């Protein structure tokens, strides 16, 4: 992964949009700094009886529009700048999709695959104990992200409930169904991306040659986005995970790929495909490229070799500002993360709402509400894009910033 500071990227993106829309600099300066961020030490007794100290973070970027909200990343290379950037993107994402949340994000430096389930539980509960006084259903409700799925969210909710002395299902989102999770949350980010992709394609912004897509990352987001793409009648010719990618010009069978990954732990050597590297996947001659793994994968170094006409950002922050500039010069269409992957947090909002009101919605109701919300978000961004004749990224930032700034203005500084 390239060492670009994602927090600097986030600030540059906002500056660029602010120039176009001529926002009052005093609000832009305010949005460039998170309201608060903490680093905590989490001492944990490991299974062998020895103590290990883990480092965790939580960044609360802005809560003008509602409680801080954002995921939790368990990853051995996570750092404070990444968490601050991710919290910043959450504020804008939540504003773009127009849900009543601000932006937050958290994480712990470790590889969850290298600890036992019991250790994972102790690390998670220890983290909640350290940030307990800063979070809560109406203050900041953590959600899932890379390395932290529904089991982790269940523990966060449970530990928070124990510490506060009452059951509080809305203390986290992305939980399992019997712990207050929402129907539809698991597939939400990929499903929401599919809705946006369909809307984008309906505007005929690109001229697809073979209707082919390459997807980097075959985790939660990549898997469900792939299903949506398949339903749109497009061909997924390449898929990858952290161990590498696979390619088949005729298309990859998703069911077979999922089974192979489950059985062997990676996509490598999937029958009927040839192995490729993650770098090769990004540079394939496809109509649409979907980064759906980690940030900073499209950089000044490889941007000139990217052949896809459209980059559809399902990962958070996959494109550095330098690569963005190159893509814009080459008239590539970039659908930014804060629009493309906002279906996840939108459904987290539905989960939070159901928890707060003790309701349980069926999956059709959740996905139908999500569909309407995503179409609206796309139309709102598209209107700004048309008004300013600018990139979709700038348009999404302008829309998000406008909504946050209006709230700050109206309530007073
Ligand atoms: P995940 O842990 O389920 O999957 C991540 C995938 O990326 C895995 O297939 C993993 O093998 C792969 N990967 C890891 N390192 C890689 C590397 N160096 N090169 C290529 N592939 C690599 O995570 P996820 O929830 O699918 O999240 C993926 C991205 O989407 C992240 O950027 C995350 O912030 C973003 N996102 C997730 C959600 C959500 O609801 N899960 C919502 C919005 C955005």
Domain span at residue 87 reads 34-181
Q: Which atom of ligand 1 is nearest to the CA of 86?
A: 34
Q: Which residues contact 359 (CB under 8 A, 6 or more apart)?
A: 353
Name the pLDDT band for 303 (thresholds 50, 70, 90). very high
CB atoms within 10 A of CB 252: 25
Q: Provide the CATH number for the domain around residue 337.
A: 3.40.50.720
Name the pLDDT band for 237 (thresholds 50, 70, 90). very high
225 ligand 1 Cβ < 6 A: no
Is the pLDDT assigned to residue 352 strictly greater than 80?
A: yes
From atom 33 of ligand 1, which residue's Cα is the shortest distance away?
Answer: 315
As a three-state string, the secondary structure of the chain is CCCCCHHHHHHHHHHHHHHHHCCCHHHHHHHCCCCEEEEEEEEEECCCCCEEEEEEEEEEEECCCCCEEEEEEEECCCCHHHHHHHHHHHHHHHHHCCCCCCEEEEEEECCHHHCCHHHHHHHHHHHHHHHHHHCECCCEEEEEECCECHHHHHHHHHHHHHHHCCCCHHHCCCCCHHHCCCCCHHHHHHHHHHHHHHHHHHCCCCCCCCCEEEEECCCHHHHHHHHHHHHCCCEEEEEEECCEEEECCCCCCHHHHHHHHHHHCCCCCCCCCEEECHHHHHCCCCCEEEECCCCCCECCCCHHHCCCCEEECCCCCCECHHHHHHHHHCCCEEECHHHHCCHHHHHHHHHHHHHHCCCCCCHHHHHHHHHHHHHHHHHHHHHHHHHHCCCHHHHHHHHHHHHHHHHHHHHCC
Residue 402 located in a structural domain? yes
Is the pLDDT assigned to residue 135 strictly greater than 50?
A: yes
326 and 306 within one domain = yes
Residue 13 located in a structural domain? no
149 and 41 within one domain = yes
Number of structural domains (the chain) is: 2
Residue 394 located in a structural domain? yes
97 ligand 1 Cβ < 6 A: no
Residue 287 located in a structural domain? yes
**Under a CB-based contact definition with an 8 Å cutoff, are residues 281 and 238 in contact?**
yes
For the stretch 153-172, pLDDT in tens is: 999 999 999 999 999 999 99
> Final residue of a domain: which of 181, 213, 228?
181
In 3D, which of 399, 397, 325 has the Cα closest to residue 89? 397
163 and 211 within one domain = no
> Final residue of a domain: which of 166, 181, 196?
181
Residue 118 located in a structural domain? yes
The C-alpha atoms of residue 297 and residue 353 are separated, in whole angstroms, by 35
For the stretch 60-95, pLDDT in tens is: 999 999 999 999 999 999 999 999 999 999 999 999
176 and 204 within one domain = no
320 and 370 within one domain = yes
- Cα four-point dihedral sign 108, 113, 117, 118: negative
> Final residue of a domain: which of 143, 165, 181?
181
199 and 177 within one domain = no
Q: What was the pLDDT predicted at 1? A: 46
Bridging pattern class, strands 288-291 and 235-241:
unpaired
Provide the phi-psi class of 162: left if phi over 0, else alpha when psi is between -120 and 50, else beta.
Answer: alpha
198 and 156 within one domain = no
From atom 30 of ligand 1, which residue's Cα is the shortest distance away?
Answer: 315
| Mean pLDDT of all residues belonging to the chain | 96
388 and 254 within one domain = yes
146 ligand 1 Cβ < 6 A: yes
Distance 157 CA to ligand 1 centre (A): 22
**Under a CB-based contact definition with an 8 Å cutoff, are residues 152 and 171 in contact?**
no
314 ligand 1 Cβ < 6 A: yes
Residue 362 located in a structural domain? yes
Is the pLDDT assigned to residue 249 strictly greater than 50?
A: yes
Q: What was the pLDDT predicted at 412? A: 72
411 and 351 within one domain = yes
Residue 193 located in a structural domain? yes
240 ligand 1 Cβ < 6 A: yes
For the stretch 141-158, pLDDT in tens is: 999 998 999 999 999 999
133 and 203 within one domain = no
From atom 4 of ligand 1, which residue's Cα is the shortest distance away?
Answer: 219
338 and 236 within one domain = yes
Q: Which atom of ligand 1 is nearest to the CA of 174?
A: 40
Q: Provide the CATH number for the domain around residue 165.
A: 3.40.50.10860
| Residue 105 appears among annotated catalytic residues | yes
Per the annotation, binding residues are 69, 93, 189, 220, 348
Q: What was the pLDDT predicted at 3? A: 66
The C-alpha atoms of residue 18 and residue 394 are separated, in whole angstroms, by 8
364-370 long-range contacts, CB within 8 A, separation 24+: 366/182, 366/183, 366/184, 366/185, 366/188, 367/184, 367/191, 370/184, 370/188, 370/191, 370/192, 370/195, 370/343, 370/346
Single out the catalytic residue among 11, 26, 105, 369: 105
Q: What was the pLDDT predicted at 413? A: 67
For the stretch 204-230, pLDDT in tens is: 999 998 999 999 999 989 999 999 999
341 ligand 1 Cβ < 6 A: yes
Distance 221 CA to ligand 1 centre (A): 6
State CA 12 to chain mean position distance. Answer: 19
188 and 170 within one domain = no
Residue 351 located in a structural domain? yes
């Amino acid at each position: 992964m390239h060492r670009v500071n994602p927090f600097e990227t986030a600030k540059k993106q906002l500056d660029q949009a602010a120039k176009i829309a001529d926002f009052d600099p005093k609000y832009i300066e305010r949005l460039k700094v998170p309201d608060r961020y903490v680093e905590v030490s989490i001492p944990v007794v490991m299974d062998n009886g020895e103590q290990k100290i883990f480092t965790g973070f939580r960044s609360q970027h802005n809560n003008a529009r509602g409680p801080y909200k954002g995921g939790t990343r368990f990853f051995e290379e996570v750092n404070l700048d990444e968490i601050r950037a991710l919290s910043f993107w959450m504020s804008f994402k939540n504003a773009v999709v127009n849900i009543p949340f601000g932006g937050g994000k958290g994480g712990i430096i470790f590889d969850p695959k290298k600890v036992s389930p019991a250790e994972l539980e102790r690390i998670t509960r220890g983290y909640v104990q350290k940030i307990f006084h800063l979070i809560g259903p109406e203050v900041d409700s953590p959600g899932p992200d890379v390395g932290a799925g529904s089991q982790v969210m269940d523990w966060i909710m449970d530990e928070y409930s124990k510490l506060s002395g009452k059951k509080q299902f809305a203390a986290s989102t992305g939980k399992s169904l019997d712990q207050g999770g929402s129907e539809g949350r698991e597939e939400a980010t990929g499903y929401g991306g599919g809705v946006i992709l369909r809307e984008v394609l309906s505007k005929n912004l690109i001229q697809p040659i073979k209707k082919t897509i390459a997807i980097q990352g075959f985790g939660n987001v990549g898997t469900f986005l792939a299903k949506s793409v398949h339903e749109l009648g497009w061909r997924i010719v390449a898929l990858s995970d952290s161990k590498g990618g696979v390619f088949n010009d005729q298309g990859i069978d998703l069911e077979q790929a999922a089974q192979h990954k489950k059985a062997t732990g990676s996509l490598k050597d999937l029958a009927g495909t040839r192995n490729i590297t993650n770098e090769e996947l990004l540079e394939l001659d496809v109509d649409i490229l979907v980064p759906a793994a980690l940030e900073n994968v499209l950089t000044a170094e490889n941007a000139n070799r990217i052949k896809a006409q459209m980059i559809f950002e399902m990962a958070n922050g996959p494109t550095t500002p330098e690569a963005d500039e190159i893509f814009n010069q080459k008239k590539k269409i970039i659908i930014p993360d804060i629009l493309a992957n906002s279906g996840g947090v939108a459904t987290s909002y539905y989960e939070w709402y159901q928890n707060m009101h003790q309701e349980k919605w069926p999956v059709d109701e959740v996905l139908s509400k999500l569909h309407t919300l995503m179409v609206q978000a796309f139309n709102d961004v598209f209107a700004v894009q048309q008004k300013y004749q600018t990139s979709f990224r700038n348009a999404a930032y302008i829309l998000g910033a406008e909504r946050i700034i209006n709230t700050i203005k109206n309530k007073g500084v």
